[in-house]
Structure 1
Amino acid sequence: MNNNLIVIVGAGPAGLSAAIQAAEAGAKVVLIDENQKPGGQLFKQIHKFFGSKAHKAGVRGVDIGRQLLEETESQGVEVHLGYPVYGVYPDGRVVYGSAEGVRSIQADRVILATGAIENNLCFEGSTLPGVMTAGAAQTMINEHRVLPGKNVVMIGSGNVGLIISYQLMQAGATVRALVEAAPAIGGYAVHAAKLKRSAVPIYLSHTVNRVWGDGKVEKVELIALDEHFNKIEGTEEVLDADTVCMAVGLTPMVELASLAGCRLTENGTLGGMVPLHDENMRTSNPIYYVAGDIAGVEEASTAIEEGRLAGIAAAESLGLSNEKTAEKKQAVRDNLAALRSGAFGQRRFLAKEEMVKEFYREAEV
């Protein structure tokens, strides 16, 4: 081969960041995404990022997406949108659909930035129209300008549930309740404070017991949970609502990594099964690298940094490096350590550290 061709699957924040760094290093980069426009989740995120200036604090996700797109275009990356990837092979061959039919491309390196899929809950009435994931609701209001309902019950108090609840209110909906199975709110206090100031009822140690209505959501029954997450009979409370949104976590999309022969490992802290990878985001198949939520569910800022690291490292493995390469990788690792240094990130930092150790233990075997 020796074409220094890097194919990146997924044009979200991780994929775009990887493309920029790989192209800047001198690789020929092809970026493929099944969606009609790049940017992944960034173009649904109208809120300002939280954290430090180095990690885009104070900048809205949609604006970060535009910045990444401009950088990608300036680097001459070949972008294919609306092209679903059907499969990958251990030798680096990528098979995808196009307007002309099924095509394949032989890559020297592949970076998988396929993201994660939202989790769902099953309860009586969960198949009724009006029950959806929080991400679906966010897509409706922020991309399509369609309000999914007027009276919403949000399940889950992580950052996703908190942020999207507030965005639904900005769009004109009333959040009738925020429901959390745990005894404490899971997301940042700065996001929770917005809901508290708006007098949104927050039900801790509760869940949705059932939903019913005439062909659509009309009533939502909540029920309290004990310390073992068992339902406490007799604590039911019924709310009038036409929409139930579920913000109950994400699961990494590892199907392509599995097809490529990348070794997977179970890590509950990072969302479930994830591709085992080293400190350079390289998997057990040295042709393949991973970045973003496929490598462990975290924040968009972390996905950007992991994408940068994967892009630099993949290009380096093809001989495209210079005296600043090691310095650039270390700077990214320092950024990742800073992002994972807080109360919410420390567990992920330790999980990533253990993953790297596991990678080398497996390599020795």
Structure 2
Amino acid sequence: MKQTEILVIGGGPAGLCAAAAAAQLGASVLILERDGKPGGQLVKQTHKFFGSKKQYAGDRGIHIGDFLLDQVEQDPKVEVWKDTTALGIYEDGVVTAEADGKHIKIKPEKIIVATGAAEKFLVFPNNDLPGIYGAGAVQTLMNVAGVVPGKRVLMVGAGNIGLIVSYQLMQAGVEVAGVIEAAPQIGGYLVHASKIRRAGVPILTSHTIKEAYGENTLEGAIIWQLDEKWQPIPGTEQDIKADVMCLAVGLSPLTELCWQAECEMKYVPELSGHVPVRNDFLETTRPGLYVAGDVSGVEEASSAMVEGRLAGISAAFSLGYGKDVAPKLQAEAQEELNELRSGPAGEKTMKGILKLTGKEGVAC
């Protein structure tokens, strides 16, 4: 059985930052990553990040992922197991995993779950036609495999992912027929929307898919307008010809391990689904199990990295490492999170966190 002080499940931005922070305080860390290259969503993000230098503003996601991976691989206190999938967290603290067809048992003292999130889907007639993808899948095809998904794309969803992937499709020479968004306003940053609007791509808010059509593969879709009650308006249908439909309609936290570990869970729509209840240091109701990143509530990668750092510091501190510096580092990470979540962009997340902690409606 493999022994380690801290086990990090998930080698995305949150997991890598958690491992680096814990190791810097002196803890030994093992990372489990199911893919062949750690980095999570960063491995396919070719756009530059916003924020501050603390969150690598001005750098592209792919370069940030490489930097974080190099950081942990060069630290002798960190092991990285690639192509390894965590299977379960059990009552006795044993974690099981699968790698290369083998069943592995691991006994950590602390666990950080940083499993990320999965793409949501939409229900409409013929949504199983070949040519209908999640936006993350299209981003992987283009930016990792170097394959364009088709010739003409209809993007569904005007959040940051939908807007960014639309621009990346155009950079790859793919025509974007349009972007539709069910909400009355776009959900992504205006700078991303402006780039594709300047290229002549229409963004239609208060619109959704009525149905897709095609013989053997997608040939197009019928869209229609929604009223102020989110109900379709008959007579507003438009036929959009496209051989690819890209669904950027949100993410759901991948919390299966948290459920199985019997963490207390709570449904919070603002955090994109069921998420584990945790304290200010990201420790869940199962003692010694921490969460960080999209598994704790879907946000931007910048927040995931800071949450990872906070979880790593907290887990190492609970083992007795960094007694002189850890409280200060925890406070700094919490302040960074508050800054990232300030303003209109973070209003939804803050509302969700207040609901999760039971502080909603409490005067500050």
Alignment of 1:18-29 (within 5 A): 18-29=18-29
Counterpart in 2 of 1:45?
45
Match of 2:86 in 1: 85
Q: 1 CA distance for matches of 2:130 and 2:161?
A: 21
Paired position in structure 1 for 2:188: 187
Aligned AA (1:185): I
- Measured in 2, the distance between the counterparts of 1:311 and 1:219 equals 47
1:66 maps to a residue whose letter is: D
Code of the residue aligned with 2:303 in structure 1: it is T
Describe the superposition over 1:140-193 as per-residue Cα deviations: whole angstroms up to 9, x where unpaired: 000001000110000000101110110111111111010001111111111111
- Inter-partner Cα distance in structure 1 for 2:214 and 2:321: 61
The alpha carbon displacement at 1:229 in A equals: 1.1
Q: How far apart are 1:357 and its partner, in Å?
A: 4.5
TM-score normalised to the size of structure 2? 0.95
Q: Which deviates further from its counterpart, 258-267 or 99-108?
A: 99-108
SS at match of 1:167: helix
* Cα distance per residue 1:104-157 (max 9 Å; x no partner): 111110100000110000111110000010000000000001000110000000
Over the matched positions of the two proteins, sequence identity in percent amounts to 45
- Give the structure 1 partner of residue 164 of structure 2: 163
Aligned equivalent of 2:120? 119
Q: Which amino acid aligns with 1:55?
A: Q
The total of aligned residue pairs comes to 357
TM-score, normalized by length of structure 1? Answer: 0.95
2:237 pairs with 1:236: yes
Q: Structure 1: which amino acid aligns with 2:10?
A: G
CA contact (8 A) 1:279 1:356 kept: no
Q: Note the C-alpha offset of 1:354.
A: 4.1
Whether 1:63 aligns to 2:66 is: no
Whether 2:109 is the aligned partner of 1:108: answer: yes
Cα distance in 2 for residues equivalent to 1:207 and 1:262: 36
Letter aligned with residue 54 of structure 1: K
String of CA shifts for 1:245-276, please: whole Å, max 9, x gaps. 00001110111011111110111100110000
2:8 — aligned with what?
A: 8
Task: Give the residue type in structure 2 aligned to 1:47.
Answer: H
Where in structure 2 are the equivalents of 1:1-365 lying within 5 Å?
5-76=5-76, 77-99=78-100, 101-357=102-358
The answer to whether the Cα contact below 8 Å between 2:270 and 2:351 also exists between their aligned partners in 1 is no
Shift of 1:351: 2.5
Matched residue SS, 1:84: strand
Question: Contact 1:123/1:210 (CA < 8 Å) preserved in 2?
Answer: yes
Determine helix, strand or coil for the equivalent of 1:232. Answer: coil
Letter in 2 for 1:228: K
The structure-2 alpha-carbon separation of the partners of 1:354 and 1:210, relative to structure 1 and needing over 3 Å to count, comes to closer
1:100 Cα deviation after fit? 5.7
Q: Secondary structure, in 3 states, of the residue corresponding to 1:177? A: strand
Question: Aligned partner of 1:57: which letter?
Answer: A
When residues 125 and 102 of structure 1 are mapped into structure 2, their CA distance, relative to the original with a 3 A threshold, is same
8 Å contact kept, 1:43–1:61? yes
Separation in 1 of the partners of 2:91 and 2:64?
33
The 4+ residue runs of structure 1 with deviation greater than 6 A are: none
Which residue identity is paired with 2:238?
A: E
What CA distance in whole angstroms lies between the structure 1 residues aligned with 2:324 and 2:354? Answer: 26
Partner residue, 2:362: none
Partner Cα distance (1:153, 1:91) in 2: 49
The CA RMSD measured in Å over matched residues stands at: 1.4
Structure 2: 5+ residue runs without aligned partners? 360-364
